[in-house]
């Protein structure tokens, strides 16, 4: 137990594992400590009921950076993504709903049922958004520049970022300003007229935030979702083979192949700090492990307030970190089903269900769901993003049976009964979701073999996500780039020397991207911190 490591990484989420892989690849001795019995954090696959494997939390992949796959040989270690082709929006009253496909003409026909104009503008819109996202990509693949610094390196980085925007040209620059300031619903109004089409499009702007589609600033989050790329193709989402835990497993295998050591069931209670310097970690059982540096893959709140502790922080930093917004707003309900949940019997085949299924019949529907959340209730009729990955990946369920993952918003962490009472409300919350689905799949009750309800409280207690925020902190403008998590410490550093961060609470933010882990490791190596 007395070996001294170059680096200890607290938390075996995918970012922590990637961080470990990069450091180990550079020849450093690395130890990853994960509290749970499984690796992956929010990107995890677990066989919750015999034969049924759930992507318990995150469920689709698209933002993962392709260069990380190349640099860490992840494909060799099992990284495999199956692209999704369709995006289906069932509608009430027996309508056949709206399905958007990879095939542009087919989507055009589907949208034309609601608005001919929109059907044609749709392509123009995607083009521009993809273009904007491509430029934004240059921003997310580098550490955020420090705007307050006069260090030439920082200025060069700022300049590079400025250039990206300059190259947009006046029209796109204007568009960019709109994106940064408008609400996602208002932004979409600039293009589209159909409330039906705008429904599923607008919700991309609120995922993981405690905001509504009409709240300013949400347009930017919309763009975040256009940044996805699979195999170099922009804006496509996919399923990780074997669930999203497959991504984490590949990262862990890569880290091990470079010599990293990974332990599960190890609860870290705090970072050992001597004279303002991190020197290792203290485990919950009292053991101590020494290292030259420590990397925390936990959210900013936990890293600062638990791992470091207020005693070791200045009051200014403490109050700033306390202002960092978490405000979890979503939950998950995962179903084990005895058969296919058919969301539209009027459609032929099941292809339309092999992508995501969005329960959001129109824009008002989400805004109403938000109204309830504002006053501390979960939405009775929430926005639900559903996938049935077993239709694509049969390894997830016994033959003929299926797993159905439901991402649900809004489920506010701060429920009016008090967050700690979420466990008592879990069943009611599960019922609200199941009843909402029943409006489209009348036989759902008879298909359900098991149901796993993951409330925001569970996300905090089981996954270590403070206040159940799925991105380790809201993805709102004021908490992005050089302000993520707080200004002055946006470059994976903390006020404690030799203590670094790597999770989605750092730039560029949440989602299965790998960027936090990668950029943090590269910064550590660049600075020759070890």
Tell me how far apart the alpha carbons of residues 208 and 301 are, in angstroms, rounded to a whole number. 17
Q: Count the Cβ atoms, other than its own, within 10 Å of residue 169.
A: 10
Task: Verify binding: residue 475, ligand FAD, rule CB under 6 A.
Answer: no
Count of residues engaged in binding ligand FAD, rule: CB under 6 A: 39
CA dihedral of 98, 404, 15, 258, whole degrees rounded to 10: -120
Task: Verify binding: residue 16, ligand FAD, rule CB under 6 A.
Answer: yes
| Residue 435 partner contact from other proteins, ligand FAD, none using kind-dependent CB cut-offs of 5 to 8 Å | none
Q: Which stretch binds ligand FAD (CB under 6 A): 57-65, 77-85, 214-222, 484-492?
A: 57-65
| Residue 59 partner contact from ligand FAD, other proteins, none using kind-dependent CB cut-offs of 5 to 8 Å | ligand FAD
Task: Verify binding: residue 43, ligand FAD, rule CB under 6 A.
Answer: yes
Nearer to ligand FAD, 34 or 146 (CB): 34
Q: Which two tokens stand for residue 489?
A: 């410490």
**What region, left, alpha or beta, does residue 327 occupy, with left being phi > 0 and alpha being psi -120 to 50 degrees?**
left
Task: Report the greatest alpha carbon distance in the chain.
Answer: 70
* Count of residues making up the chain: 530
The residues, any chain, with a CB within 8 Å of residue 136's CB and separated by 6 or more, are 223, 227
Tell me how far apart the alpha carbons of residues 322 and 320 are, in angstroms, rounded to a whole number. 5
Tell how strand 30-33 and strand 261-263 pair up: parallel
Residue 88, Cα to own-chain centre: how many angstroms?
Answer: 21
| Residue 407 partner contact from other proteins, ligand FAD, none using kind-dependent CB cut-offs of 5 to 8 Å | ligand FAD
Contact predicate 105/55, CB 8 Å: no
Cα–Cα separations (whole angstroms), residue 65 to 131, 228, 506, 511: 17, 9, 16, 11
| Residue 493 partner contact from other proteins, ligand FAD, none using kind-dependent CB cut-offs of 5 to 8 Å | none
| Residue 131 partner contact from ligand FAD, other proteins, none using kind-dependent CB cut-offs of 5 to 8 Å | other proteins
Task: Verify binding: residue 121, other proteins, rule CB under 8 A.
Answer: yes
Task: Verify binding: residue 471, ligand FAD, rule CB under 6 A.
Answer: yes
Nearer to other proteins, 130 or 338 (CB): 130
| Residue 11 partner contact from other proteins, ligand FAD, none using kind-dependent CB cut-offs of 5 to 8 Å | ligand FAD
Q: What are phi and psi of 469, to 5 degrees?
A: -75, 125
Nearer to other proteins, 130 or 181 (CB): 130
Binding mask 266-285 for ligand FAD (x = CB under 6 A): -xx-----------------
Task: Verify binding: residue 72, ligand FAD, rule CB under 6 A.
Answer: no
Please choose, from the candidates 513, 195, 175, 207, the residue with its C-alpha nearest in 3D space to the C-alpha of residue 383: 207
| Residue 127 partner contact from ligand FAD, other proteins, none using kind-dependent CB cut-offs of 5 to 8 Å | other proteins
Can you tell me which of 66, 78, 83, 123 binds other proteins, judged by CB under 8 A? 123
Cα–Cα separations (whole angstroms), residue 137 to 41, 226, 386: 25, 10, 27
Contact predicate 56/454, CB 8 Å: yes
What is the closest distance, in whole angstroms, from the C-beta atom of residue 116 to other proteins in the complex?
5
The residues, any chain, with a CB within 8 Å of residue 35's CB and separated by 6 or more, are 11, 265, 266, 267, 268, 464
The residues, any chain, with a CB within 8 Å of residue 27's CB and separated by 6 or more, are none
Q: Which stretch binds ligand FAD (CB under 6 A): 4-12, 93-101, 174-182, 195-203?
A: 4-12
Q: What residues numbered 394-413 form the site for ligand FAD, per CB under 6 A?
A: 407
| Residue 201 partner contact from other proteins, ligand FAD, none using kind-dependent CB cut-offs of 5 to 8 Å | none
Q: Which stretch binds ligand FAD (CB under 6 A): 77-85, 356-364, 458-466, 477-485?
A: 458-466
Q: Tokens 């347009």 correspond to what residue?
A: 219
Task: Verify binding: residue 242, ligand FAD, rule CB under 6 A.
Answer: no
For residue 49, the cross-strand partners are: 52
Q: Is the dihedral of CA 248, 254, 255, 260 positive or negative?
A: positive
Task: Verify binding: residue 291, ligand FAD, rule CB under 6 A.
Answer: no
Can you tell me which of 5, 7, 9, 11 binds ligand FAD, judged by CB under 6 A? 11
Can you tell me which of 51, 162, 169, 400 binds other proteins, judged by CB under 8 A? 169
Q: Count the Cβ atoms, other than its own, within 10 Å of residue 70.
A: 10
For residue 357, the cross-strand partners are: 88, 386
Tell me how far apart the alpha carbons of residues 512 and 457 are, in angstroms, rounded to a whole number. 21
What is the closest distance, in whole angstroms, from the C-beta atom of residue 309 to ligand FAD in the complex?
13
| Residue 105 partner contact from ligand FAD, other proteins, none using kind-dependent CB cut-offs of 5 to 8 Å | other proteins
Nearer to other proteins, 168 or 270 (CB): 168
| Residue 117 partner contact from ligand FAD, other proteins, none using kind-dependent CB cut-offs of 5 to 8 Å | other proteins
Q: What are phi and psi of 69, to 5 degrees?
A: -60, -45
Q: What residues numbered 91-120 form the site for other proteins, per CB under 8 A?
A: 103-106, 108-109, 116-120
Binding site for other proteins (CB under 8 A): 103-106, 108-109, 116-121, 123-124, 127-128, 131, 169
Binding site for ligand FAD (CB under 6 A): 10-16, 33-36, 41-43, 57-61, 63, 267-268, 297-298, 332, 407, 459, 463-465, 470-472, 503-504, 510-512, 516
């Amino acid at each position: 137990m007395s070996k001294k490591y170059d680096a200890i990484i607290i938390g075996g989420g995918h970012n922590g594992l990637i961080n470990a892989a990069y450091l180990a690849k550079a020849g450093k001795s690395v130890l990853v400590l994960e509290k749970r019995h499984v690796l992956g954090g929010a990107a995890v696959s677990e066989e919750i009921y015999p034969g049924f494997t759930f992507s318990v939390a995150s469920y689709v992949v698209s933002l993962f950076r392709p260069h990380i796959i190349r640099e860490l040989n992840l494909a060799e270690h099992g990284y495999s993504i199956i692209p999704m082709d369709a995006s289906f929006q069932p509608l009430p009253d027996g309508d056949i709903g709206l399905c958007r496909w990879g095939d542009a003409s087919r989507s055009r026909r589907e949208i034309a049922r609601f608005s001919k104009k929109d059907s044609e503008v749709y392509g123009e819109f995607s083009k521009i958004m993809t273009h904007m996202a491509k430029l934004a990509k240059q921003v997310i693949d580098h550490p955020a520049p420090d705007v307050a610094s006069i260090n030439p390196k920082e200025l060069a980085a700022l300049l590079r970022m400025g250039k990206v925007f300059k190259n947009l040209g006046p029209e796109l620059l204007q568009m960019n300003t709109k994106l940064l300031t408008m609400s996602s619903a208002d932004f979409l109004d600039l293009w589209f007229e159909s409330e039906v089409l705008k429904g599923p499009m607008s919700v991309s702007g609120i995922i993981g935030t405690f905001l509504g589609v009409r709240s300013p600033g949400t347009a930017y989050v919309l763009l975040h979702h256009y940044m996805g790329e699979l195999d170099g193709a922009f804006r496509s989402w996919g399923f990780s083979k074997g669930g999203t835990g497959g991504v984490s497993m590949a990262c862990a295998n890569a880290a091990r192949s470079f010599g990293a050591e990974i332990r599960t069931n190890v609860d870290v209670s705090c970072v050992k700090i001597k004279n303002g310097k991190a020197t290792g970690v203290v485990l919950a059982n009292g053991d101590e492990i020494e290292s030259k540096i420590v990397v925390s893959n936990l959210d900013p709140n936990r890293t600062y307030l638990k791992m470091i502790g207020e005693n070791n922080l200045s009051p200014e930093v403490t109050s700033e970190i306390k202002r960092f917004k978490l405000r979890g707003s979503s939950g998950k309900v995962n179903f084990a089903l005895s058969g296919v949940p058919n969301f539209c019997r009027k459609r032929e085949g099941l292809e339309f269900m092999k992508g995501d299924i969005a329960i959001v019949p129109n824009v008002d529907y989400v805004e109403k769901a938000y109204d309830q959340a504002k006053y501390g209730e979960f939405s009775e009729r929430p926005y639900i993003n559903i996938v049935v990955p077993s239709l694509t990946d049969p390894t997830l369920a016994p033959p003929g049976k299926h797993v159905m993952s439901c991402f649900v918003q809004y489920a506010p962490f701060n429920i009016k009964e008090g967050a700690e009472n979420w466990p008592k409300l879990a069943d009611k919350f599960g019922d609200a979701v199941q009843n909402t689905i029943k409006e489209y799949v009348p036989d759902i009750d008879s298909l359900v073999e098991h149901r796993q309800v993951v409330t925001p409280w569970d996300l905090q207690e089981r996954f270590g996500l403070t206040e159940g925020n799925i991105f380790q902190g809201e993805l709102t403008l004021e908490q992005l780039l050089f302000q993520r998590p707080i200004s002055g410490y946006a470059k994976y550093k903390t006020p404690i020397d030799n203590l670094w961060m790597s999770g989605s609470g750092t730039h560029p933010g949440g989602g299965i991207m790998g960027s936090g882990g990668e950029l943090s490791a590269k910064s550590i190596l660049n600075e020759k911190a070890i």
